[in-house]
Amino acid sequence: MPEAHKLRGWYDNYGSSAQTSSISSGRGAGGSGGSGAYKTFAEAKEQTQHAVEKPEYYSVKAMVSMINKEKALYMACASDDCNKKVSTFKLFFKRQFC
């Protein structure tokens, strides 16, 4: 942890205001290629349907805006090596056989 505190001290005093420069040549996959133009998913899909000679690579930034809590998690079987879903039937729990 001393290294982390030392690094944090450097960042607070110097690093946060240091000038930075990009070392990549583009915004493609990992900075290696691509046109660098922003596209919607629909535009990328349309473009790749017509190009068959070489693969296309894209970098995507996304943010989860909503999680449906009713469908995000489910009760599973407690047996070892079994993750089958357990459903409720009236007042009882029902599951498929492991």
> Is 2 part of any domain?
no
Under DSSP, the state recorded for 34 is S
Q: Is the pLDDT confidence value at 66 over 70?
A: yes
Q: Which distant-in-sequence residues (6+ apart) come within 8 Å of 77 by Cβ? A: 83, 84, 85, 86, 95, 98
> Is 59 part of any domain?
yes
Number of domains in the chain: 1
Structural domain that includes position 34: 26-66
pTM higher than 0.85: no
What is the predicted pLDDT for the residue at 64? 85
What integer is the mean pLDDT of 1-11? 88
What is the predicted pLDDT for the residue at 30? 43
> Is 48 part of any domain?
yes
> Is 94 part of any domain?
no
What integer is the mean pLDDT of 38-63? 79
